[in-house]
Structure 1
Amino acid sequence: MTPETLTTPDGTRIAYRDHAPPLPGHRPVLLLHGLAGHMGEWDDLVGRLLAAGHRVVTYDARGHGASSRRPPTTTRAAHVEDAVTLIHALALAPVTLVGQSLGGHTAMLLASDRPELVDSLILVEAGPAGPSPGLPARMADWLDSWPTPFESQEEATAFLGHEAWALGLEKREDGWYPRTDRDTMIDSVAELATNAYWTQWSRIRCPTLLIQGENGTMRPDEPTAMLAARPATSHTVVRDASHDVHLDQPEELCEAIVNFLEE
């Protein structure tokens, strides 16, 4: 499916796909990917959610994929506003938000700031913990470690760990390159280096599910603190999954999401 595009108030182009539901009357689901990712990471989950009767929308965050590569700003507020613009443009509200990693953080802030737009919230390896002073440097080291250009998508898959990551690359004459700008990616996590978001987390009132990978990267005490702050939050751990739960165990992830929504 060829992506459609919309333009946000600050002129950023956002590429998205609106996957039509096979059945009427099911709540829409908006999927938000993580840092340096792309909406194609969700393809396996999209098919499963469609089969369960949901309308599903995916999009490339600003600075990612087919969206504007170098947007005018990469603040947390700008990322939230992009999702809000998409929700309004496609008449998705009230919507279920499913966000992984940085996309989960965006979904969390949206649910806190614009509760009237959100029906339920599902966080995959994402939460309010912070500050994290070393995060930008770690992201820079990770991005700099990519041996680009990759000679083939197979080489990229072997290095990045998942075919879905390789499918997000672009082909040029001399090989395969990321569809992101290094400095834009580092800027995208700048606020997480100095801020924590527990106040925003405590304000959320919609039903919420926290999903961890058994071998994920959340801080060890973060899920416990999240549940203490909001005891009604549901929580599940997906076995044999890393930070990329949606790529490691898409069937188990979909089962957890569908069961939560059916409750």
Structure 2
Amino acid sequence: MNRLCAAALASALLASLHAPASAATREPYGIGLEGFAYPYPVSLLPLTNDGEQVRMAYMDVAPVQPNGRTVVLLHGRNFPSSYWAPVIRTLSDAGYRVVVPDQIGFGKSSKPQGELHFDTLARNTMALLDHLQIAKADIVAHSLGGMLGVRIARAYPDRVDHLVLTAPIGLEDYRLYVPPTPTEKILENEDKLTADGYRKQLETNYALKLPADQVTPFIDARFNIKGSAEYPRWLRAFVSSAQMIYREPVAHEIPLIARPTLFIMGADDHNAPGKANAPEALRPKMGHNADLAQALAAKMPNARAEVIPGTGHLVFLEAPAKYNELVLGFLAAH
């Protein structure tokens, strides 16, 4: 009987470990993702943004056999920088020092009271490189990080060796399709979103091909924060990032980038922020990201676009072998 009870208890425990956390049972994280593990040690850099004291979290991963070069990884809006873990490992194994910041407003970095701006995030990233005494780096960016990568390459071309834009957003000016949305309306909509609704949103908007258990950490990273007393401040920073994407387009600057640039696109990625708020007649014109990348690359002096079939927005997690081959080949060839 004791053995039967023990077996039943073990079975129940296993089931509970693999069951999705409900809103009632979620262990709250802090708005700096306290309680959420990162794959490498995290350091904090004090900064001042618009008179506000903030701290920028980052991982700085040294290779065993250095090749003398550094890669900076720039994360997307809906993801903590920890999702770069497999890419960090690949680059580190190839000899690169890998610096992985959480931008201010995201992940384990401070959530500011003020508005977010790409120029400020670009300056913060340069301040981090200065702090680490890195004169020049390769930039590998994803999603919203791609917009930031464009700003950095345009504002600080002498600090950038190569630019890899991984399923970037901002390849079109969303203001041409989507009417302006009041911040309070976005706050209301984001606050009403449930964990299940968020999972469906990611699966739909990003054409995710990942198993459900690989998506769960992204759900946890967002919804466990709702248990924090500072959740309203996190939410305002998160919504500020949506307004930043809309108000500060970079599409018009991309053809002006002179640094060697590689677009790596998922063929099925039709993500277009704000598309649901566009007039119905305009929605089909948005989010043709692979086509947009190829058209932009053709206008640039030193760029090309690679499209990986059968992949969505998280292309580096969905097709890691092909992604690694493209990135390592591109960085080594120049």
Same amino acid, percent of matched pairs: 24
Q: Which residue of structure 2 lines up, in the alignment, with residue 206 of structure 1? A: 259
RMSD over aligned Cα atoms: 3.2
1:112-135 C-alpha deviation (Å, 9 max, x unpaired): 111111011000111442134368
TM-score by length of 2: 0.67
Q: Which residue of structure 2 lines up, in the alignment, with residue 153 of structure 1? A: none
* Unpaired stretches in structure 1, ≥5 consecutive residues: 151-156
Q: Which residue of structure 2 lines up, in the alignment, with residue 3 of structure 1? A: 42
1:72 paired to 2:114: yes
Higher helix share: 2
Amino acid aligned to 1:4: S
* Unpaired stretches in structure 2, ≥5 consecutive residues: 1-39, 199-209, 272-286
Q: Which residue of structure 1 lines up, in the alignment, with residue 4 of structure 2? A: none
Between the two proteins, the alignment pairs up a number of residues equal to: 255
Q: What is the distance in 1 between the residues matched to 2:144 and 2:261?
A: 17
1:129 paired to 2:172: yes
3-state SS of 2:56 partner? strand
TM-score by length of 1: 0.83
Equivalent runs, 1:6-155 vs 2, <5 Å: 6-10=45-49, 11-126=53-168, 127-132=170-175, 133=178, 141=189, 144-147=192-195
Amino acid aligned to 1:202: P
Change in CA separation of 1:178 and 1:72 when aligned onto 2, cut-off 3 Å: closer
1:220-243 C-alpha deviation (Å, 9 max, x unpaired): 242233123215312111233211
Q: What is the distance in 2 between the residues matched to 1:180 and 1:37?
A: 18
1:243 paired to 2:322: no
Change in CA separation of 1:59 and 1:234 when aligned onto 2, cut-off 3 Å: same
Change in CA separation of 1:134 and 1:147 when aligned onto 2, cut-off 3 Å: farther
Q: What is the distance in 2 between the residues matched to 1:54 and 1:47?
A: 10
Structure possessing the higher radius of gyration over alpha carbons: 2
The Cα shift of 1:143 comes to 6.7
Q: Which residue of structure 2 lines up, in the alignment, with residue 182 of structure 1? A: 235
Q: What is the distance in 1 between the residues matched to 2:83 and 2:123?
A: 22
Contact 1:40 1:168 (C-alpha < 8 Å) held by counterparts: no
Q: What is the distance in 2 between the residues matched to 1:139 and 1:173?
A: 16
